[in-house]
Amino acid sequence: MGAIVRTSLKFRTLIVIAAAALLVLGGAQLGNMKTDAYPEFSPPSVDIQTEALGLSAPEVEQLITVPLEADLLNGVAWVDKVRSQSIAGLSSITLTFEPGTNLLRARQMVSERLNTPAAIPNVSKAPVMLPPMSSTSRVMMIGLSSKDMSLIDQGVLARWTIRPRLIGVQGVSNVAIWGQRERQLQVQVDPQRLHDRGVSLSQVLSTTGNSLWVSPLTFLEASTPGTGGFFDTPNQRLAIRHVSPITKADDLARVPVEAGDNGVAPTVDGHTLRLSDVANVVEDHQPLIGDAIVNGQPGLMLVVEKLPTANSLEVTRGVEAALNALRPGLGSLKLDTTVFRPATFMHKAVHDVATTLLIGVGLMVIAIALLLYAWRAALVAVAAILCSLVAAALVLYLSGATMNTLAFAGLVIALGVVVDDAVTTANSVAQRAPRADKSLASTVLDAVVRSRAGLLFATLIILLPLLPVFFLGHLGTALGRPLALSYALALAASMVVALTVAPALSVILFARAPAARLESPAIRWLKPRYGRLLSRATQTSRPALLTFAVLAVVGVIVVPQLRASTLPKFKETDLLIDLQAPPGASLPAMDGITADAGRQVRAVPGVRNVGGHVGRAITGDQISNSNASQLWVSIDPKANYDRTVAAIRRVVKTYPGITSDVKTYSQANFTNVQTGTDAPVVVRVYGAELGVLRHQAEDVTRAMSGVKGLANLRAQMPTEEPTIKVEVNLDAAKAVGVKPGDVRRDAAVLVAGVQAGSLFEEQKVFDVVVWGTPATRQDVNAVRNLLIDTPSGGQVHLSDIANVGITQSPSVIKRDAVSRFIDVTAEVNGRSRSAVLTDVKRSLQNVKFPLEYRYELVSNYAQRATILALLGVAIAIGTLLLLQAAFGSWRLAVLGFLTLPLALVGVALVVLLGGGTIELGSAGAFLAVFAIATRNGVVLLQRFQQLERGEGNGVGRGLVLQGARDRLTPILATAAGTAMFFAPFAFLGDLPGHEIVSPMADAVLGGLVTSTIVSLFLLPALYLRFAYGKAAAEDLDLRELWDEPAAAPA
């Protein structure tokens, strides 16, 4: 340490210039730092979606999800978990990788597997690996509306003009379109009309497909369209280009129907039949899997998502610039970018935080200057504080980190230590400089080394509480890591600055300082009064013991009433309202409910805009059926936030049968990451057949119901929805010569439609499909009456060869570890969790499981709780050992160890009065006050040791009083400076961006009161009672606590 200080003093001019450059250039560079509301908190994962429009959830699972999981994706390198959801028309598989896995390498491994042929039948589109997306991926939602354009025309613009442009914006990962209506040419057939004309469904399919350049149906000639070719003349080469005459529905309608199996083309009155004679050829759109509500009406909603670590503000600016460039070519299409725009909240949060920060820093500088009362010392302290914080932030910037609320909170938590470092060094130098018997450099060196003695151990003690951050589960660790990193960097930067910049600047500034040092009027007024009060308090140990007991009792009463929560609550101006209807609700019905709810919410005072989407979108981030929707509400920043949110909650609760949930987008994402195995007791039952799985889950629930200490025991059964079930009667089908596969294929064309080809037009591609008329798919009876072609050329009703009826079917099938599962969850009440788990395991031994069925206790709650308990013990032991190393005395180590928790009682009391929940902000307050109390205690007790070893002018109580008076100014300056910094955050409340720092400020202010009392009164009195004259003794007799010793020499 001395060598570092000597070197900095030797090159002091260079050090000061470098510090100035750091403040100017580094501060300017920080303006380019990426900013975001939150850090990346999702685990490394890869999502694979497979669209299978028309398949039910069980069919999606059986035909797509199971082959992909079992044959391709299971066993990919570094995979930790494989989970999937199968809903009607979509298979979604999520591969979560081990922490620290390189996401690009993981995606490469998954891509290689997807390129391997798999046993997936031709019932879906190819599996798509979604692009990597941020934890809070949505950066903007854009509503499209027009009074003149149809929704199909709007969809064409969105799909072929707007989306490609937005995808090209730097930082954009994906653009999903809710309510997308793809333009299609549809050949809508009526089986009865075909029967009357003597035309089969296969003739319509082949005619439609072969009339186009390209068809995906491999049994058609159009599946191999060939090329135009070219030839050479003596002078030039000529290429041949075929131009399709079919560009619209009327063109396709004029195509003649192909001949049937008999080789004769169908005719009427001698005229060959055209497609328009046997079907309705129209321009329409595909069956919708979701919709959007814009301005209270069905519309289109573009959801723009960003890449991980992309700068949200820059992405927003890039998207808006791209939209502005597109506007001249969009005609009457209106773009509404205010539906969801988190950059608005971020801009306001940054502005509010910057304003409050400037006020806090200004008040802090004034407080330090008034208490140090020497402009040179104050300048050294302020310069050291600014250099430390800028250096820590610059390291974060150079490492590519994002400045988010958690990283900012880490710097704020470290402020107390940074202020104490600066004040301690500046005050120590000011007290010793100048001296006639020593050079200024030697005086500064001596002052810095003495003031830093033991602070290395104090810093290590302060860093110990960061260890649990890495064992809080994935979400807690992801949120706590940037806080811990910025906090640790600030401490390291503060230590380096205290050993380099502060000494160098002190030598330069104090070179011409007057010999007489003026003392602050406040300190001059406080010091004698403090001395008299401390003198009375140390005459006997009873006041100190009583204070110790009161603080300890208050702590014992308050702490058990506190509850922990790792999730911060942000007052974002964009709200998300989840609406859930009973399973099986139709898309039009949900459109109506969502639109009406949107209008009601829009009428709430303080609401600026409302948009919504229903169901899902291709490559969208929502895996939901048509019975689910979301309203996105933009609140006016000038409105009363709490009152507006309460009014919105009241509105959405008025819809009977609709489950609603009002939250912010960040809360929704936090919840999505948390869901799974965080309940104290989770028994996961695995199996194949849902009926047997339900029965086994019920058996497990019954077996666990007898375990004492379990509460809220329930099995999370999968939801079901009405489904039309078609089961071919083999005997009836055989009688007419129809096979089960023929029935499925004909019914699929009529009800779901089949793509017969593609139409290439104006650099766009549109599908051409053969589909039944709307009348053939309007209800159950229409399905029963579907006409199925027979080999003899006739037709038969579907109900004549199959059983058609409504049955219940799972709406969502979830899988984990390549198997279906049902979770049985419970809370623990009144007993230890280990005892409850022991009884749960014993109770499940009597449950019999069929072949291929099993259960697992999958909750990581117990393991995490055990690790945290062991870490708590290790931190306590480590703190005690480091204190002993700092003092060289077990007696002083125990004294410092026992008084540290008392300094935190003020924090706990304020948290209890504020609701009793320890969130990230209040947890940071514990850390901040713990750091200040640790440093104060270590330096104060070491000062007592120095005086007792011969540096003091008195003995006994007089020596303790001298040491306490020596530390009065830095302790008060640190407390006052820290309090003044936090005061604006506490006074202004939870403004945008203050959601973490505001509760932290309240708790820190309360903690500063108790920590200052402990440092200035309790520690000196207890030192005099238990450690004076015994600091080197290695024995500690606890009986001394009860015996009053003889009075110490005055």
**pLDDT, tens digit, 9 for 90 and up, residues 457-497:** 888 999 998 888 877 767 777 888 888 899 999 999 988 98
Lowest mean pLDDT among 636-645, 947-956, 1036-1045: 1036-1045
Average pLDDT over residues 915-939: 89
CB 285 within 8 A of CB 184: yes
Rounded to the nearest 5°, which phi and psi values hold at 776? -80, -5
Length of the chain as a residue count: 1050
Nearest to 418 by CA among 943, 12, 973: 973
Residue after which a domain boundary falls, among 674, 708, 737: 674
Choose among 48, 47, 43, 46: nearest CA to 135.
43
Angle of helix 957-988 relative to helix 415-432, nearest 10 degrees, comes to 140
- Co-location of 604 and 552 in the same domain: no
CATH number reported for the structural domain that contains residue 262 in this entry: 3.30.2090.10
Tell me whether residue 238 is exposed, middle or buried, using C-beta atoms within 10 angstroms of its C-beta: 0 to 12, 13 to 18, 19 or more.
exposed
Confidence of residue 951 (pLDDT cuts 50, 70, 90): low
Q: Map residue 731 onto helix, strand or coil.
A: helix
3-state SS string for 556-594: HHHHHHCEECCCCCCCCCEEEEEEECCCCCCHHHHHHHH
What pLDDT does residue 1043 have?
43
Decide which of 859, 885, 919 is a domain's last residue.
Answer: 859
Diameter over CA atoms, the chain: 131
pLDDT digits (tens, 9 = 90+) for 637-646: 888 888 999 9
Would you call 765 helix, strand, or coil by DSSP? strand
Instruction: Check which CATH number belongs to the domain holding 68 and give it.
Output: 3.30.70.1430
Q: Are residues 460 and 557 in the same domain?
A: yes
pLDDT at 437: 52
368, 407: one domain: yes
Smallest CA-to-CA distance from 756 within 214, 326, 168, 261 is with: 214
Under the banding of pLDDT at 50, 70 and 90, the label for residue 118 is low
Domain count, the chain: 5
Residue 557 falls within a domain, yes or no?
yes
Residue 408, domain CATH? 1.20.1640.10
Q: What is the band of 143 on the pLDDT scale with cuts at 50, 70, 90? A: very high
**Confidence tier at 302 by pLDDT (50, 70, 90):** very high
Once rounded to an integer, what is the mean pLDDT over residues 667-682? Answer: 69
Q: What are phi and psi of 711, to 5 degrees?
A: -135, 150
Question: For residue 146, is it within any domain?
Answer: no
Domain identity same for 281 and 214: yes
Average model confidence (pLDDT) across the chain:
87
- Do residues 376 and 510 lie in contact, with contact meaning Cβ atoms separated by under 8 Å? yes
**In terms of domains, do 976 and 853 share one?**
no
Structure confidence at residue 906 as a pLDDT band (50, 70, 90): very high
DSSP assignment string, 209-274: HHTSSB-S-TTSGGGS-----EEE-SS-EEE-----S--SHHHHHTSBPPP-TTS---EETTEE-B
Alpha helices in 947-1030 (DSSP H): 957-988, 997-1013, 1019-1026
Q: What is the mean pLDDT of residues 6-35?
A: 85
CA 725 to chain centre: 41
Calculate mean pLDDT across residues 172-196: 93
Res. 678: pLDDT tops 70: no
Report yes or no on 328 lying in a domain.
no
Residue 20: partners with Cβ closer than 8 Å, 6 or more residues away: none
932 shares its domain with 1029: yes
Q: Are 22 and 90 members of one domain?
A: no
- Could you tell me the pLDDT band of residue 1032, with boundaries at 50, 70 and 90? very low
What is residue 566's predicted lDDT score, i.e. its pLDDT?
58
Residues 878, 778: one domain? no
Backbone φ and ψ of 607, nearest 5°:
-85, 130
907/1023 same-domain check: yes
Predicted TM-score of the model (pTM): 0.86
What pLDDT, on the 0 to 100 scale, is given for residue 423?
Answer: 84
663 bridge partner residues: 576
712 phi and psi, to 5 degrees? 55, 45
Cβ 319 vs Cβ 169: under 8 Å: yes
Radius of gyration of the chain (CA): 37
* Shared domain check, 545 and 406: yes
In a domain, 836, yes or no: yes
Does the residue 568 lie in any domain?
no
pLDDT-derived band at 434, boundaries 50, 70, 90: low
> Which run of H or E residues covers position 615?
strand 607-615
Residues 6+ apart with CB under 8 A from 227: none
Residue bearing the bigger pLDDT, 539 or 203: 203
The neighbour count for residue 263, using CB atoms within 10 Å, is: 6
Residues 422-427, mean pLDDT to the nearest whole number: 80
- Cα–Cα distance list, 89 to 65, 152, 747, 752 (Å): 11, 22, 17, 11
Whether cis (ω within 30° of 0) applies to the bond prior to 582 is no
Q: Identify the CATH number of the domain in which residue 685 sits.
A: 3.30.70.1440
Residue 1027 CA to residue 1039 CA, distance in Å, equals 14
The reply to whether 20 falls in a domain is yes
What is the rounded CA–CA span in Å between residue 49 and residue 962? 73
Reference 402, options 332, 494, 315, 344; nearest CA is 315
Judge if 992 and 896 occupy the same domain: yes
| Judgement on whether residues 705 and 822 belong to the same structural domain of the protein | yes
**Percent of the chain with pLDDT strictly greater than 90:** 45
Residue 1039 pLDDT greater than 70, yes or no: no
Cα–Cα distance between 5 and 496 in angstroms, integer? Answer: 10
Over range 133-155, report the average pLDDT: 92
- Report residue 35's pLDDT band, with 50, 70 and 90 as the boundaries: confident
Q: Tokens 């402990």 map to which residue?
A: 1014
pLDDT at 1042: 38
Model confidence at 684, pLDDT cuts 50, 70, 90, reads: very high
Number of neighbouring beta carbons within 10 Å of residue 518 = 9
Contact status, residue 1010 vs residue 975, Cβ threshold 8 Å: no
User: 195 lies in a domain?
Assistant: yes
Say which residue, 66 or 994, is predicted with more confidence: 66
Domain containing 700: what range? 681-719+813-859
pLDDT in tens, 55-80: 999 999 999 999 999 888 988 999 99
- Domain end point (choices 674, 693, 710): 674
3-state secondary structure 92-159: EEEEEECCCCCHHHHHHHHHHHHCCCCCCCCCCCCCEECCCCCCCCEEEEEEEECCCCCHHHHHHHHH
Cβ atoms 133, 45 nearer than 8 A: no
Is residue 338 included in any domain, yes or no?
Answer: no
